[in-house]
Amino acid sequence: MTESGVPALFGLPAVQVVAVALASLLCGFVGTFVVLRRLVALGGGIAHAAFGGIGIAVVVGFEPRFGAAAVAVGAAALLAGLPRERSDRQDALIGVLWAVGMALGMVLLAGAPAGDSDVEGYLFGDIATVDRADVVTLAALVAIVLVVHARFGRELVATAFDPEHARLQGLPVRGLTLLGLLLVALSLVALLEMVGVVLAIALLAIPPLVALRWLRGLPAVVAGAIVVAAAMSLAGLALGASAGWPAGPTIVLVGGAALVLSRLAPARATRAG
Amino acid sequence: MTGARTLLRLERVGYRYEGDVALRDVELEIARGERLAVLGPNGGGKTTLLTLLLGLRDPSEGRVVRASPNGDLRLGYVPQFPAFDRNFPIRVDEMVLEGRLRERRAGGTESEDRAELERILERLDLVGLRRVYLTELSGGELKRALVARALVARPELLVLDEPTASLDESSRRTFWTLVAEQPETTAIVLATHDLAPATFAPTRALFVDRTVRELALGDLHAEAAVCGHGHD
């Protein structure tokens, strides 16, 4: 038990630890896809566009996460549906979605009732507010991610590695890309409660980047990213609690430090000769 | 309609990049078993033509008619410049097996995959590199792995874009022997400047420079020399 009587694990509220564990699984599977497919900027664009969805939901009177999910899924579909010939314009579209989503959210939340306009909470998250419903949402999403990887893992890897060759093999590259982006969008929304719009993409990107420094082979990288995500999240939570710092930013700072350290340390051994 | 031996046909096909004409008015039919050499200057549209044949691009004008509209034609492709990230955590054997994704989706078994993998790794002297990650390969080794991926599914249409660039002499000989060993029913389209008489015996030759025109086979090696020295 914590001092306030809440069930505890590792000295932290149990619901937070379970949320971290589930989020770490997302970071391992979805984050590795994001990094290998070079979708970090695109993920950032989706997350920031989702902020506009939060603003719309608050104004209309919906649960904010539903608004975020709707806009994130719409943005993912828009980016996945970009014609091949126009894919060189993707970075511009990402930038526009990023900025317009933020602007829309700020404008709409500025006019919302005081209780619904916690802009800082939406931007940077607050893991202290994570509750059982959030854990159930995370668990459901993790289950979906695992089922999708069990059924389409080989196809998703082929598409992430070499989309041109995947197309030659008759794979529905556009559909698989959309499937991957939908998982990215939903994962970002699920992480909003913990680390907010601004930091969510860092939670997906940092663990695989650290794992790729030392590990070879996709299964090892995914497993390593899960471990790194859990370690940086728990360390960030503990450090934030003891230093009085906000949890989300502290988690991301710990992850950033881990990434720097991984770059300074010797890389994995490579083939001789 | 296409004939029984026809794999695909391009009808008045054109392609534009950002409004600029890369290819125009291409009329071309490729039949099973053809050996087609594609020559032309850099920037003349050879790679664009190959990617149109493979369905990797949609034509800006005209249409590509395929004998297998369901997309079940077995395709092998060795690109001049691979489009993937060499830091992707994938081994040589895993990459080569991606050449059999179509067969697996069509009901092929893992044991068939393994047998074909062993055959092609041995043939291309890649057995010792099977568990090596792409990031650790030399340029020539990577090219051999790409050739293995293209051949592992015994393609009906094999498209080779400057396939021997970055291969050493021994690997080149192995490669040309492998090409010569392809079944008579396999159509091969080769874009190259390395058209020594002993390497590839085309049944037809094309010159590509915005448009496509057929070359007399007797002029072939003279044209290859011009392309190789005059434009590259």
The alpha carbon of residue A140 is apart from the nearest alpha carbon of chain B, in Å, by 28
A87-108 tens-digit pLDDT: 667 888 999 999 999 999 999 9
A208 CB within 8 Å of a chain B CB = no
Residues B149 and B171 in one domain: no
Q: What's the DSSP call for residue B26?
A: E
Contact B83 A218 (CB under 8 A): no
Contact A270 B85 (CB under 8 A): no
Residues B69 and B123 in one domain: no
A27-66 tens-digit pLDDT: 999 999 999 999 999 999 999 999 999 999 999 998 998 9
Which of B99, B128, B155 finishes a domain? B155
Q: Report the candidate in B156, B154, B152, B151 with the shortest Cα–Cα distance to residue B66.
A: B156
CATH superfamily of A8-264: ABC transporter involved in vitamin B12 uptake, BtuC (1.10.3470.10)
B19 CB within 8 Å of a chain A CB = no
Facing B56 at nearest CB: one of A38, A161, A164: A164
In a domain, B92, yes or no: yes
Residues B24 and B132 in one domain: no
**Integer angstrom CA distances of residue A171 from A77, B78, B130, B149:** 18, 18, 25, 16
Do the strands B6-17 and B61-66 form a parallel or antiparallel pair, or are they unpaired?
Answer: antiparallel
In a domain, B117, yes or no: yes
What is the CA angle A173-A179-A182, rounded to 5?
140
Which residues have CB under 8 Å from A194's CB, separation 6+? A19, A20, A23, A125, A127, A130, A203, A247, A248, A251
State the sign of the Cα–Cα–Cα–Cα dihedral A105, A110, A113, A119. Answer: positive
Q: Report the candidate in A98, A117, A107, A121 with the shortest Cα–Cα distance to residue A40.
A: A98
pLDDT at B83 (0 to 100): 87
**Integer angstrom CA distances of residue A237 from A13, A16, A23, A233:** 10, 9, 14, 6
A218-258 tens-digit pLDDT: 999 999 999 999 999 999 989 998 999 988 899 999 999 99
| Residue at token pair 């990459």 | B95
Q: Does the pLDDT of residue A4 top 70, yes or no?
A: no
The alpha carbon of residue B94 is apart from the nearest alpha carbon of chain A, in Å, by 10
A158 CB within 8 Å of a chain B CB = yes
B15 CB within 8 Å of a chain A CB = no
More confident site: A120 or A259: A259
Facing A168 at nearest CB: one of B54, B72, B90: B54
| Residue at token pair 């995947």 | A166
- Return the residue in B48, B50, B84 with the most chain A beta carbons within 10 A, the one to mutate for interface testing: B84
B91 CB within 8 Å of a chain A CB = yes
Number of H helices, E strands in chain B: 7, 9
Q: Distance between CA B191 and CA B155 in Å, rounded?
A: 17
The alpha carbon of residue A212 is apart from the nearest alpha carbon of chain B, in Å, by 8
Q: Report the candidate in A214, A195, A155 with the shortest Cα–Cα distance to residue A179.
A: A155
Other C-beta atoms within 10 Å of B149: how many? 24
Contact B101 A167 (CB under 8 A): no
A164 CB within 8 Å of a chain B CB = yes
pLDDT at B36 (0 to 100): 95
State the sign of the Cα–Cα–Cα–Cα dihedral B48, B50, B52, B54. Answer: negative
- Return the residue in B80, B94, B151 with the most chain A beta carbons within 10 A, the one to mutate for interface testing: B94
Q: Report the candidate in B20, B30, B71, B74 with the shortest Cα–Cα distance to residue B50.
A: B30
Interfacial B residues in 126-185 facing A (CB < 8 Å): 132-133, 135-136, 149
Q: Distance between CA A119 and CA B112 in Å, rounded?
A: 57
A169: nearest CA partner in chain B = B102
In a domain, B78, yes or no: no
Q: Distance between CA B166 and CA B162 in Å, rounded?
A: 10
pLDDT at B1 (0 to 100): 46
Report the amino acid identity of residue B96. Answer: V
Facing B98 at nearest CB: one of A158, A218, A221: A158
pLDDT at A7 (0 to 100): 72
B90 CB within 8 Å of a chain A CB = yes
Facing B88 at nearest CB: one of A36, A85, A167: A36
Mean pLDDT in chain A?
A: 89
Phi, psi of A122 (to 5 degrees): -70, -35
The alpha carbon of residue B179 is apart from the nearest alpha carbon of chain A, in Å, by 20
pLDDT at B170 (0 to 100): 87
Residues B147 and B210 in one domain: no
The alpha carbon of residue A124 is apart from the nearest alpha carbon of chain B, in Å, by 31
Q: Distance between CA B179 and CA B155 in Å, rounded?
A: 12
A216: nearest CA partner in chain B = B89
pLDDT at A109 (0 to 100): 92
Supply the Cα-derived Rg of chain B in whole angstroms.
18
ipTM of the assembly? 0.89
A146-200 tens-digit pLDDT: 999 999 999 999 999 999 999 999 999 999 999 999 999 999 999 988 888 888 8
CATH number for the domain including B175?
3.40.50.300
**Integer angstrom CA distances of residue A203 from A22, A30, A34:** 12, 11, 11
B19: which 2 tokens? Answer: 């409004």
**Integer angstrom CA distances of residue A261 from A257, B88, B89:** 6, 22, 21
pLDDT at B218 (0 to 100): 73
A41: which 2 tokens? Answer: 């900027």
Name residues of chain B where pLDDT drops below 50: 1, 229-232
Residues B135 and B177 in one domain: no
Residues B10 and B118 in one domain: no
Q: Find the range with the poorest average confidence among A12-21, A136-145, A165-174, B193-202.
A: B193-202
In a domain, B79, yes or no: no
Residues B62 and B99 in one domain: no
Enter the pTM of the model: 0.87
Q: Distance between CA B26 and CA A8 in Å, rounded?
A: 71
Domain that holds residue B27: 1-73+166-232
Q: Distance between CA A65 and CA A43 in Å, rounded?
A: 17
Residues B178 and B229 in one domain: yes
In a domain, B38, yes or no: yes
Is B158 in contact with B182 (CB distance < 8 Å)?
A: yes
Residues B88 and B127 in one domain: yes
Q: Distance between CA A194 and CA B83 in Å, rounded?
A: 36
Q: Does the pLDDT of residue A266 top 90, yes or no?
A: no
In a domain, B141, yes or no: yes
| Residue at token pair 């008489």 | B197
The alpha carbon of residue A230 is apart from the nearest alpha carbon of chain B, in Å, by 22
Number of structural domains (chain B) is 2
Contact A165 B57 (CB under 8 A): no
B3 CB within 8 Å of a chain A CB = no
A103 CB within 8 Å of a chain B CB = no
Burial class (CB in 10 A: 0-12, 13-18, 19+), A214: middle
